[in-house]
Structure formats: C-alpha cells, structure tokens
Chains A and B, each alone.
Chain A
Amino acid sequence: MNSADIIALLPLILLTLATIAVMLAISFKRSHGLAAGLTALGFTATFLLLPAISRVAPHPVTPIYLVDTFGLFFSGLLLAASLVVTLLAYGYYETRSGFREEFYLLLLMSAMGGLVLVGSTHLVSLFIGLELLSVPLYTMVGFSRTARRSLEAALKYLVLAGVSSAFLLFGMALLFAATGSMDFSRILEMGRSGDASSTPLMAGLALIGVAVGFKLAIVPFHLWTPDVYEGAPAPTTSFVATVSKGAMTAVLLRLYLLAGGVIPDSTVTIFSILAILSMFTGNLLALMQNNVKRVLAYSSISHLGYLLVAFLAGGEYAVEAVTFYLTAYMVTSLGTFGIIALLSDREGEPELLQDYSGLFWRNPVAAGLFSLFLLSLAGIPMTAGFIGKFYLFAAGVDHSAWLLIGSLVINSAIGLFLLPPDCRFHVCRSRRKSHTNPSAGKRSGKPARADARFCGYFLVWGLPRVPDSSDPQRDNRLNSAYHSF
C-alpha cells in the first residue's frame, strides 16, 4: 500500500478514527455534547479533506474500491447529510435522558458504510458497504428503547433487511457462478457479450435487483418504509431517507456509467413498471395518511419512482438528472425531518397532521421553512425541487419516454393534492384552532397548562357556537380570553 492509497482512503480512515474517538470518549466520560461534537468534527474534517483527495483521483485502491470524482462527489453529499443528521440528533436527544451517546457511534459507522458503497466496483465491497450501512441502522431505528413503535419498526427493518441481504448474497453467488468474476465491469461485459449462460446471470441480477429495490423502497419492496419512518426517531428517519437511499442510488448510477449508459430493453421494461407503480402507489397512499412521517414515507416512495425515470430515460441527461434530483431530494428531506425533529420534545414528536394546524401563528419561521420544503418536494419553481423535476422532464422528453413522462405528469399533479393539506394544516388555520390541540407545538410549563385550560374553556363554551374564523374581532376576543387564564 503506497502513499496514494493511503490518501485515497483517508475519508474512511478519518471516519474510523472518529468512531474510535467517540467510543473511547463514551467509556471515559459520558457526555452528550462531547460525543456529538466529536462526531460533527469527524464529518466536517472528512468533508473538508475531499477536495484534496480529488487530486489523486481516479485511483483504484485494491481491485474492489475506486476513488474517483464521482465517488468523491457522492461522499461529500453523504457526509454533508450525515453532518446535518448529527446536528438534528444533538438537538433531538438533548431534551431526552438515558444513553444517547451511542447513537453517534452508530451514525459514524453507518455513514462509513455509505462511503464504502459509493466507491465500490466489486460485489464484495458492495456487500461490505451495504452491511456496514444497514447493521447500525437496525439499532438506530430502535434507539428509543422505551417506545413501542420504535422497537416494532426496528424488528421489522431487521427481518426485512436480513432477508434482502440474503437475496443479495444469493444473487452474487449466482453471478459469480455465471461469470466467474465479482467485478462490476467484468460482469457487465460478460452480460453484454452474452458469453455467460444466460439464466443464472439473469436470476442473479434479478435477486440483486430485489435487494437494491428494498434499500430504495421501490414498489413492491416498499412495505417496510411507512412503519420504519413512523417508528424511528426523527433523526434516524432522516438518515434512512437520505444517506441510505443516496448511497444506493450512487451504486446504481455507477453501474449505469460502467455500462456506458446503455440498459438492456428487458431491464428497462421491468424498471419502468416498477417506477410507474412506485409513483402511483406512493402518491395515492400518501393521500390517505394522517401521520406526517407516513405521508413523507409514501412520498419518498414516489420520489424514488421519479428518480428511476431519469435512469430509464437514459441519454446524456440521465446522470445529471439523477444527481441533481437526488441532491435536491436529500436537502429537502433533511429539511422536512429536521423541522419535525426541531418541533419535537420530551413528550414526543408532532406526528399527526392536526399537530401542525396553526403552526404558522405559533412558530412562523418553522412553518415558513416547512412550507418551503414541502413546496420543493412538490417541485414548485424557485425551489431546488423544481429544477430537479425539470431535469427529469428534460431527460424523459429527450429520450421520448412518453409513458414514463405521462405518469410523471399525472403523479406530479397528484402530489399537489398531497401538498395543500399539509400547507393548509399549518398555514391557513386560524389561531383559535391551534389551541384546541394541547399536544401541538411548543410546550413549556405554563403556556401548556394555559393551553389545556383554554381547551376546556373552548370545549365548554366554544363548540356550541363555533366562531367564524375569518372574523378578526372574534379572534381577538378569544385571544383575550386565552390570555386571561
């Protein structure tokens, strides 16, 4: 191993060092701030190193790991997202008691798995990266050990992820049997030339497809998503939504690049069906949810469906489209879950849509940002989501993938149905309504009690003559009544 190898591997080495440092710090002195600080430091330092490393790129370190600008870009994306998750987690766990320092340990290891994935050019590194990413996630999902739903989500994720790993391994075995190689480019070459016996190769690819589909939560491998999103603590959810899916997309994109941007027709057909199914399932089911995290889970399913459109459309825009869409999606997802984490406190997270009603009047900044992120998810101009969606359209039109584009248009429209209820719930409801829900928003001692009392007042006096919310005088009267408590 020469010095260039060491330099190329520096991100992984640094993250390992950070992991060890956090572990030692925990064993000597349990301090939430110290653990979070070390983690953030580790991510930041690694992130800042990337430009320097790009000087040695492209550089293959052993046959299984490649450091190139593509991988470094995605490493940067994953590191930035992980850093944001760290900050979210710090705010989130600061209000909670119990063992929380280990969360950062798991976070660091999982992020390292993501970094291995984006550089993998070989089935072995793919598997190592995927497991390193997933195993800490099992614990992270179930990190709220006293919450029933968190444990349920963790168990579900553990079982399903285990099964998908089994699929992956079996698929790899078949590929190896068919081609005699575990190197991506070699396998693709064999597949193209048709040297290998076709059935094991196809079967192997299909099984690997299942595992990839599971990680990306594409229909029909999406069933874990809503439960895990709902049950996991908000920082974990944001990690699952961004880093885990982002790393997997990067692997797909690398395969696409190695294949020279050509996808066999049969694969296109299968993935088209999955993409269309994902879009419709995600969007339609999201409409029926009452829980914000479930809504976002279903919407993420549809977003990954959109992302597949760009892949399938192929052409010169595909890589650009996928990269941009993924980046925009990651930023937006981090934002939405960030707001959820920000608004949650010791008693729990604001989960139901109703919890957000009147948010605009209570916490205008959070509400404004939340609206912005939702608008970006819906792809409204002046947000990154719009440019992302624009790229998808362009990629699709460029390649005349009309069926996919048609579903994309229809689903964007359905997605709009999804957006207004959210916006409406927290933006447009009058001030009065927000006080009917004592579990909503900022609660600290006195106001909470006043809230509850006001609620009682309202239930007794208010309901029989529901005031016209558009009448400001009424509002003022109710407010003065509220303040008199």
Chain B
Amino acid sequence: MSLVWLILIPMVGGLVAGLVARKNESLCRWISLSALILDSGIAINLFAHHWLGLDLPTSTRWLVEFQVEWIPRLGAGIHLAVDGLSLLMVLLTLFLGIIGVGASWTEIKTQVGFFHFNFLWILSGVIGVFLALDLLLFFFFWEVMLVPMYFLIGIWGHENRQYAAVKFFIFTQASGLVMLLSILVLVFTHAAGGELTFDYMKLLGTPMDGTFGLLVMLGFFLAFTVKLPAFPFHPWLPDAHTEAPTAGSIILAGILLKTGAYGLLRFVVPLFPAACQVFTPYALFLGVVGVLYGAMQAFAQSDLKRLVAYTSVSHMGFVLLGVFAWNDYALYGVVMQMICHGFSSGAQFMLVGALYERVHTREMGRMGGLWTTAPRLGAASMFFAMASLGLPGMGNFIAEFLVLAGLFKVSVTATSFASLGLIAATIYSLWLMRGTFFGPNDKQWKIADLNARELSLVAALVAGLVFLGFYPQPVLKAVHPALEALQQSTAQAPVPVAMNRR
C-alpha cells in the first residue's frame, strides 16, 4: 500500500495546493513542499528497511509489491513494485522535487496554484513510471508526465516557450505512440502462446526473434531514447530546457531524462535480449556520437541554459553506452550517472536560474567577472562545473569511470572515443566559468549573492555529490540485487547477451 501512497500523495498535494493558492500563495508553496517531504519520508523509510535488511523479503526480487486488478478484460492490472533501482530513482525524484519547489519559491509569481499542481503531477507521473510493472500502467504514467510538463513550459517559460512546449510535446507523444504499438505487439505475441497480459514479469522471456523482434524493440528504444535523449532524437531538449522555468529545467534534466534511462534498463534489454545483442553496435555508435556531439554543441552555445542543456545530451550518451555494454561495471556506472547527473544538472539549472533572476539575461556575452560581485554563486557554479567535467571526488567521476571500464570489455574503440568526451567536458565547463564568472567585471554588474534559501539547496546538492564521490557504496549496494536480477533475466534468454562480446 505504501507504493500507492507514494504516487497518490503528490497528486493529492498538487490538487490541494492548486485550490489553496487562490487564498494564500505562500501556503500553497508550503503544502507542496510538505507533500514532497511526507512522500520522501515514505521512500526513506523503505530505503532504510532495505539498507538495514529489516523485515523485508530478500529472497524475492521485489522489496515491496502491490497488485490489484484494473481492466481484467484486457489483462491489465495495477502492479507496482519497487527494487533497489526504482527506489533510488524515486528518492532522486523526490529530492529534486523538493529542490525544484525551493528554486521556484520567488521565480513563479503568476498562477502559483496551477504551477504547483502541474509540478506535483509531473512528479507523481515520474514516480509511477519508476514503480509500474504493468506495461499499460507504465504507459499511462509515461503520458501523465507529459501534459503537465507541457503546461509548465508553455505557461511559465521564457520568450520562445510556445515553440519549445509544442516541440517537446510532439517529440515525446509521437515516440510514445510508437511504444504503445510495440507494447501491444509484444502483448499479443505473448497472448498467441497463452495468456493475454500486460504484466512485466509474465512478459519476460516472450520469444521475439529476428527482424520482427528487432522492430518491436526499436519501438521501445525510440520512446526511451527520445526521452534520454540520444543523438538523433535530441532536438527537443535544448529548446525545452532553455525555455522552461527553473523548476521545470531542474526536473526535466534531473528526472525526466532518467525515465528514459530507466526504461532502457528495465524494459528494452530484459524484454528483448536477442534483438539488443544485434543492435548493440549501433546503439554504441549512437552513444559515442551523442557524447561527442553534445559536448561540441555545448561548446558552441552562448546561451547559458542552452549550454547546460547540451551537456545533458553528452552525459546521457554515457548512459546509453553503459546500458548496451550490459555488464556489472557499466550498469553500476549507469545508475551512478543517473543519480549524479540528476544532482549536478539540477544544480546547474538552479544556479543558471538564480543568475537569470538577477541579471535577466542568459547570454554569456553580457556577463563576465561576476565572481567579484557574487562569490558564493561563483563558487557554487565552479563546484558543479567541476562535477560535470568529472573531477575525481565527485559522484560523476565514479559514474563515468565505471561506464568506461565496463564498456572497455565490450568495445575498445567505443571506449576510446567516449573518453574524449571527458576532455570535451573539461573544455566546455571551463568555457562556461570563464564566460560568466571570471575576467574583469566590464559590464559593472552588481548583483545579490546567493541567499540562505538558495544556499541551503546548493549545500544539499554539494553534500550529496561529494558523499557519492567518496563513498558510492550505499548506492552500489542498494542496486546490486536489482542489477543482478536484470542481468539474470537476460542470461536466461536463449541467446547470450552482449556482455560476452569482445
């Protein structure tokens, strides 16, 4: 039942916050915040049990499971379950959600109620995506994320928000339709040999061979790589990130992209091991291109938010590489990357948003020398720029190192090219710092430094990244059983999967 509450609390909180805002906007913010904190309480409670090994079954694959009938006529049920992987993702979601509410505390001044309603519903949809084990339910939550995000960008975004919102909507919705088609083909193929069901556990191991399996797999792959985003499907991302309000950018980069990575991990490879093996070289190619192309594009931007957006394309390339390398190291790396990139990109968007609130521009050419007037903002940006370029001591280093180490076993060529991404990351990160905070303050900027609210949010993120950089063990331990189970589900498949490739 706790899993249902995880999804329901943000939904109800959003409704209440939306209704209260007419009377009292400040109360609306506090309600959203407390709903998220309450929800985090549930998630942390689950995690603590898991971590301490208390009264949770260790023999089964899922820590907690919830299953009731939904549309029996179609074999669709409400099947929610959580393992280490999804639990971490839920925690990340709630953490960044809290950061997002905090970051938009003063930024959002119009339609506060509707904003928080949308915001919490996105979070609820994301949590649903991480928990759903029924493909129809999964698709349902996948779409629930979409509409509120569309409103978030379209109503509270910057100048070009209409265009960005529509682009985001069409990219994700169209790819989602293809996924729905693939889901149905999978389900009906399974039904031909027995039961009509949308249940993930029952669909595992459905034989999907040859070109047919590949095509069906590509339907899923398309939806997830659009969300991720991987190289040819990324054009929506720079626009959406740039035009979204700060809180929108934070959860877009921090969480929504991770749903794509999660989908690849949970669904694409386990459901279609054979097809994935065939597809591995192409996926690795797309990953490498994404890493390098994203980095190059980031370097070419003069708009600060766009720059950070393109770095996401580059970093998510590593996730794609790690997933298709599909061995222990790489998968640990993927999970670390999902979490650490969530932290660092979320923080970067928050800082860019804070900067925008002060200087009212995102053009790097109009900044410069801001360190002298806002040293704390500068230092924080410096920290996260370093995290993004993969400095040892921060989680992102561990993540990318693990991915590369795992990838090395699969393809040396891909590894060598992907490593170049780390160098490119150094260049664009320093370029970002140079353009904004270093140098003389020619434009005579005088801006307020980070205030207590912002500082506390930054401090939370910094602490998280440093902790993961020095002691990633909790994360690795928590996801170990989950990753083990995922790898087992592909090992049982008739064709051994990519992990044995040299």
Contact = CB atoms under 8 A, between A and B. Distances in A.
Interface of A: 375, 380-382, 386, 390, 393-394, 397-398, 405, 409, 412-413, 416-417, 420, 423-424, 427-428, 468, 470, 472, 475
B195 to A, nearest CB: 15
A413 B154 CA distance: 19
B161 A470 contact: yes
B155 A382 contact: no
B177 A382 contact: no
Contact of A390 (B110, B165, B180, B188): B180
B174 interface: yes
Nearest to B109: A472
Contact residues on B (Cβ < 8 Å of other chain), bracket: 20 to 34
A427 B147 contact: no
A475 B110 contact: yes
A416 B184 contact: no
Contact of A382 (B144, B157, B165): B144
Contacts of B185: 397
B201 interface: no
Interface string B135-164: 010011001101100110011011101100
Contacts of A468: 159
Nearest to B185: A397
Given A381-B143, A393-B181, A420 B188 contact: no
Given A393-B181, A397-B185, A413 B155 contact: no
16 contacts: A380-B173, A381-B143, A382-B143, A382-B144, A390-B136, A390-B180, A397-B185, A397-B188, A398-B188, A409-B177, A420-B165, A420-B170, A428-B161, A428-B162, A470-B159, A472-B110
A423 B169 CA distance: 12
A413 B177 contact: yes
A428 B181 contact: no
Contacts of A423: 150, 154
Contacts of A382: 140, 143-144
B109 A412 contact: no
Contacts, number: 70
A393 B170 contact: no
Contacts of B169: 416, 420
A380 B177 contact: no
A394 B159 contact: no
B166 interface: yes
B74 interface: yes
B489 to A, nearest CB: 24
Nearest to A472: B109
A475 B156 CA distance: 13
A313 to B, nearest CB: 12
By CB atoms of chain B within 10 A, which of A428, A472, A475 has the most?
A428
A428 B178 contact: no
Given A381-B143, A390-B180, A416-B173, 9 more contacts: A380-B143, A380-B147, A393-B184, A394-B188, A398-B188, A412-B174, A412-B177, A470-B161, A472-B109
B173 A413 contact: yes
Nearest to B191: A398
B109 A420 contact: no
A390 B181 CA distance: 9
A319 to B, nearest CB: 13
Given A375-B147, A409-B178, A420-B165, A397 B154 contact: no
A414 B473 CA distance: 47
Given A398-B188, A409-B177, A413-B174, A381 B166 contact: no
A416 B174 contact: yes
A380 B173 CA distance: 9
B151 A427 contact: yes
A412 B169 CA distance: 13
B385 to A, nearest CB: 28
A425 to B, nearest CB: 10
